Amino acid sequence: MNNVGEYKLETFPSSRLSTIDIGKAARQKHHIRALLELDVTEARKMLREAKKECKMISFNSWLIKCISRTVEEFPEIHGIRKGKTSVAIFDDVDISIVIERDVGGTKVPLPYVLRKTNEKSISDICAEIRNGQRQEIDGEGDYVLGEKKNSFLMNLYYLMPGFVRSAIWNRIIRSPFLSKRNMGTVIISSVGMMGRIAGWVIPVSVHPLCFAVGSIIKKPGVTDNRIEIREYLHVTVLADHDVIDGAPAVRALSRFTELVEGGYGLSQI
């Protein structure tokens, strides 16, 4: 052992076990992956103007609304397979996000499910996210943010052996209704908010529809036959190929691109 050198052992948060379990369960999903580069120059201008008027909105809440609108128009993209030949397609768009909170001096990512985003305004979504960021918590085992869970069962989960936890996740992802109830049908991971990433993040997910949002990068682009500096957002999208074919998925993502680059909903704020 003399050639190992200096090292230290650190204990990671219990919630990391859930991340490990999700990574294993995600292998059962057959996702189509799309790497999008979206011109958000005009949308960002509109957001800045809205903020001057003290409107409670954020880039993230607006992007969530664009995703919600896309799913509302193309609901099959967030369908969840049920059995061999059926797909459950829900009217409500429930989007899962991750909010980083301090638990016992350690930064811990905790899930928050925004329910019925299709019925909420950009301001409503922004206010709900901020409430989640301020929510009092006793420990990472006590909450999925925004929804009180049984703390005993949550802590018991972390004590279970890996094969039992995997069995629980397999049961959840095979049931559209357990999936919808526990984690929604869409997840958005805003990795680019944590630092500058000049490219795409390739996530894994158990959700039928997943968005990984990178950073906004300035670079030359063409608009009205002119080359000028534009702002581009990198987004990776995963869509479950078991429930949607490539052609309708592309149509849905084309609509998403149109909504984002056109500043959907911002002119009415």
Backbone angles phi, psi at 212, to 5 degrees: -110, 115
240: number of Cβ within 10 Å: 24
Q: How many CB atoms lie within 10 A of CB 61?
A: 24
How far apart (Å, rounded) are the C-alpha atoms in residues 176 and 168?
Answer: 14
268 assigned to some structural domain: no
Residue 83 within any structural domain of the chain: yes
pLDDT at 145: 66
Predicted confidence at residue 143, as pLDDT, reads: 54
In a domain, 42, yes or no: yes
Q: Is residue 241 part of a domain?
A: yes
Residue 44 lies in a domain: yes
What is the count of structural domains for the chain? 1
Report the distance separating Cα 78 and Cα 185, nearest Å: 6
Does the residue 7 lie in any domain?
A: no
DSSP annotation of 145 reads B
Phi–psi pair at 121, nearest 5 degrees: -85, 170
- Mean pLDDT calculated for residue range 68-79: 97
The gap between the terminal CA atoms of the chain, to the nearest Å, is 64
- Asked if residue 180 lies in contact with residue 203, where contact means CB atoms within 8 angstroms, the answer is no
The predicted pLDDT at position 170 comes to 87
Predicted local distance difference test score (pLDDT) of residue 184? 94
Q: What is the pLDDT of residue 194?
A: 66
Residue 204 · residue 173 · CB < 8 Å: no
- Rounded distance between C-alpha atoms, residue 69 and residue 77, angstroms: 12
In this prediction, residue 83 carries a pLDDT of 87
- Determine phi and psi for 10, rounding to 5 degrees: -120, 145
* pLDDT tens digits for range 206-255: 999 999 999 999 999 988 889 999 999 999 999 999 999 999 999 999 99
Q: Tell me the C-alpha distance between 120 and 94, whole Å.
A: 11
- The domain that contains 202 carries what CATH number? 3.30.559.10
- pLDDT tens, 14-60? 777 877 888 888 888 899 999 999 999 999 999 998 887 767 889 99
Q: Hey, is 154 helix, strand or coil?
A: helix
> Is a pLDDT exceeding 70 seen at residue 142?
no
Instruction: Evaluate whether residue 9 is within a structural domain.
Output: no
CB atoms within 10 A of CB 96: 20
Phi, psi values for residue 115, rounded to 5°:
-85, 140
Print the domain residue range for 24. Answer: 15-261
The pLDDT tens digits of the residues spanning 85-99 come to 899 999 999 999 988
Residue 167 is assigned to a structural domain of this protein: yes
Give percent of the chain with pLDDT exceeding 90: 51
Task: List, for residues 147-179, the tens digit of each pLDDT value.
Answer: 666 667 777 888 888 889 888 888 888 899 999
Q: Which are the contacts of 85, defined by CB distance < 8 A and separation ≥ 6?
A: none
At 214, list the tokens.
Answer: 């990178």
Residue 186, pLDDT score: 97
Is 231 or 136 the better-scoring residue by pLDDT? 231
